[in-house]
Amino acid sequence: MPLNLDQYVGVHATALDVRARRGELIAKNLANADTPGYQARDIDFRQAMARAAGDKTSGTPMSTTLTTTRAGHIGGTATADAASSPDLKYRTPLAPALDGNTVDAQIEQAAFAENAVRYQATLTFLNSKFRGLLTAILGG
Amino acid sequence: MSSFKSFDIAGSGMAAQSVRLNTTASNLANADSVATTADGVYKARHPIFEAVRAQLAMAGANPESNPAVRVTGIYESTAPASQRYEPGNPLADANGYVFAPAVNVVEEMVNMISASRSYQNNVEVMNTSKELLLATLRLGQG
């Protein structure tokens, strides 16, 4: 039975991808902490993971497909981080500023730190997976 | 490679905040530069921040995956200059008045603190991103 590396690393590869995307998004929130009218965004992790897992089976990684129900419809794919992406949410502000900015630097910092720790946890999982594989190859 | 985008984002934030720090420094340095006329007096400068979205979308790039913030311009405050009676000042006009810039020193100090905090936030993001990226590079090495 050949080894399927994708199957072997399992959900962690996707999780790493989504974590990296979330880190980027929070970095953007922090960079725009003083931009008037900027609305903070975040990823619904559960939804993003579910979608990524669904995409994996359909063969187009991290994409949204348009449903075609009639002959005249045009199918298409959008990348996962397009504006219309269903797992991208706006953060509910606790104390919105008068200029329309909804970034709360403390909340974003906490989210960024949490995301970083979880990213490292996923890395640890992946690392131990590879170590296990190496042990099997080298025989201890 | 998407992990490097965090660096661009944090970098644009740092650039924007340093422009803000520069304008604040300029405003504070010129807080006491008096002039003979109301028009000739120093005007407080403030940057305008904008989230980068529309411009990059037009260029065909994915709007959601691109950095971040930029300074679209620096506007000069239209607040009227304050008049001071200083007949001994060589810059005083015929009535003995000099014009001082409408720079609110307290406001500028608050601006400075806010800008430096935001700058620190971006530095922190950059450091963490770097650490995570290096950890990713070491993936599978032990």
pLDDT digits 0-9 by tens, B91-115: 899 999 999 999 999 999 999 999 9
Separation between Cα atoms, residue A65 and residue A87, nearest integer Å? 14
Upper half-sphere CA count for residue A52 (Cβ side, 13 Å): 21
* Residue A88 phi, psi (nearest 5): -90, 120
Separation between Cα atoms, residue A40 and residue B40, nearest integer Å? 41
**B125/A85 CB distance under 8 A:** no
Q: What pLDDT, on the 0 to 100 scale, is given for residue A65?
A: 58
Strand partners, A77: A65
Distance of CA B132 to the CA centre of its chain: 29
Q: Does the ipTM surpass 0.90?
A: no
Strand partners, B46: B75
Say how many residues make up chain A.
140
Spell out, as residue ranges, where chain B has pLDDT lower than 50: 1, 54-58, 61, 63, 65
Greater pLDDT, A113 or A89: A113
Q: Is the pTM of this model over 0.80?
A: no
Strand partners, B69: B51
Residues of A with CB under 8 A from a CB of B: 16, 20-21, 23-24, 26-28, 30-38, 79, 81-83, 85, 88, 105, 108-109, 112-113, 116, 119-120, 123, 126-127, 130-131, 134
Contact in structure between B97 and B85 (CB atoms under 8 Å): yes
**B63/A83 CB distance under 8 A:** yes
Q: What pLDDT, on the 0 to 100 scale, is given for residue A48?
A: 85
Contact in structure between B49 and B115 (CB atoms under 8 Å): no
Q: What pLDDT, on the 0 to 100 scale, is given for residue A64?
A: 54
Report which of A34, A24, A80, A88 is spatially closest to residue A53, judged by C-alpha positions: A80
